[in-house]
Structures are given as C-alpha cells and as structure tokens.
Amino acid sequence: MNPLTILKIGGNVIDNPKALTRFLTTFSMLPDTKLLVHGGGKIATDVAQKLGVETTMIDGRRITDKPMLNVVTMVYGGLVNKQIVSQLQSLECNAIGLTGADAGIIKSTKRPVKDIDYGFVGDISEIDSGRIQAFTREGLVPIFAPITYAETGDLLNTNADTLASAIACDMIYHNDVTLVYCFEKKGVLANPDDETSVINQLTPDQYREHKAADNINKGMIPKLDNAFAALSAGVKRVIICHADEVEAALTGQAGTTLRS
C-alpha cells in the first residue's frame, strides 16, 4: 500500500504566524501523500472574548454551548482553516479545506451528559475513509478543521488530537499510515521543565511509569492516549515532535517515536 502521512498541528504554532509558515513550508514539501488536521483553541478563545462569549474550560476541555459552537465553527472551519489552505496554495500545495460535515466524511454523536455537560461536543462514530482517499487520488491535500456533524444536522466541536487518530485508524485499510503530532515541544519529555529530556522511544509500560511519577501530565495525557490508540489499531508509525523538526522526526533523528 502507498504511504500516507497524517500530521496534526496545534499548540502555540497555530498562534504564531512565523512558526506556522515554517511548518506549512515543510509540510508542503513532504513527498508522500499527506493530510493535515489542525486545532486553533487559543484563537477561538480570543475571538470569543472579543464577541462577549464566555469561555469555560474544565480539565483543559472546552465547554461548547451554542454561542461557543458558533465561535469555534467560524474560527476552526473558517478563519484558521482557510488561512492554512491559502498559505499552502501559495506554496504550490493543492490543499482543500474540510470539516467533517463536508461530503459527509466524519460523523459523530453528541457527547452524553454524565458528570459534566460538555455541550455541542462530538464523539466520532463514523469516517468515510474512501472519500478521503478519493480526494488524495485526485492530488488534493485535505486540511481538516476539528468540526464534525451529527445525523440531527448539528455541527459538533471535536478534539483535534482525537480526530487525527480516528482518521489514521480508518486510513490503514488504504495506506501505510504514519501519524505525526506536531506542537511547540521537542517531543515527550521525561522532565516537563527540561527541553533536552526528550524520550526518544516510548512504550505503553514506560508511559504508565512516567504518568505515575507525574513526569507526563496535563494535556500530554489525552494526546498520548490518542497516539497509542492509533498504534494499537494498526497505524504503522506514531511520532510526537516539534513543528520545526518534522523531517528529522520522520527519519528517527528527532522527537518521540511510540512503540507497542
């Protein structure tokens, strides 16, 4: 099967125009079939504040009421997505901006209320990987915003790390998939305060040990949970790296590579 590289970009890179341009320049030059999943949470928070929409976060997760849903749809599916697509077009990368609702590619269900009501947040239920492959066969590079849709017609805010993992898991039936999570850190750190403490290879047992010692915590936990889920499902390689080191990470010279 042909190789496919799926990259997820987020963190402070989206908010930094120079860092984003560097990343997109590298992304545009990757030789294999590729697609991109992006976040944009900080920009959404800034826009919400300007519009007088209150932002509520619980354990790092956004509560998406109807006004906030309107904001994230505008920011993720509009502003951030189209800025990325436009920059890639200028780099002669034929990108197409998508949400999960476009062509019915990614369906989800509204998260049920348990201890917390997250509002209009979607848990992915179905991905049309054949439709994604149809885009890539035509030479298009899909750029996914983290918005999905439900059978009710509602748009739903969906975690971008989860979205990237879910797409990777479905695309294994068509491609040899490499999943790369890119952000502002050099990889998974053994000491969160020491940028030089990159863990070159990480197994599930090591992950559990680092979590127990509180070396890996906060936002890295859901990212790694999604990453290991993809690896367990059959994704060929999963890498976590700095957005400036994608090429080096793909050759094993930078970042953290997950092992089963």
Amino acid sitting at position 256: T
Closest by alpha carbon to 126, among 148, 156, 98? 148
Supply the angle between the helices 81-90 and 17-29 in degrees, to the nearest 10.
50
| Contact status, residue 119 vs residue 73, Cβ threshold 8 Å | no
* Coil, strand or helix at 94: coil
Q: Give the helix/strand (H/E) hosting 47.
A: helix 41-51
Beta bridge partners of 35: 6
Altogether, the residues listed in the chain come to a count of 260
Residue 11, marked binder: no
Closest by alpha carbon to 227, among 237, 215, 242? 237
Residue 226, marked binder: no
Closest by alpha carbon to 13, among 31, 26, 1? 26
At residue 227, φ and ψ (nearest 5 deg) are -65, -45
Residue 41, marked binder: yes
Beta strands, E only, the chain: 3-9, 33-38, 57-58, 61-62, 95-98, 106-110, 122-127, 141-144, 147-149, 155-157, 176-183, 201-202, 237-242, 256-258
Report d(CA 209, CA 215) in Å as an integer.
9
Binding residue numbers: 40-41, 62, 157
Binding residue numbers for substrate: 40-41, 62, 157
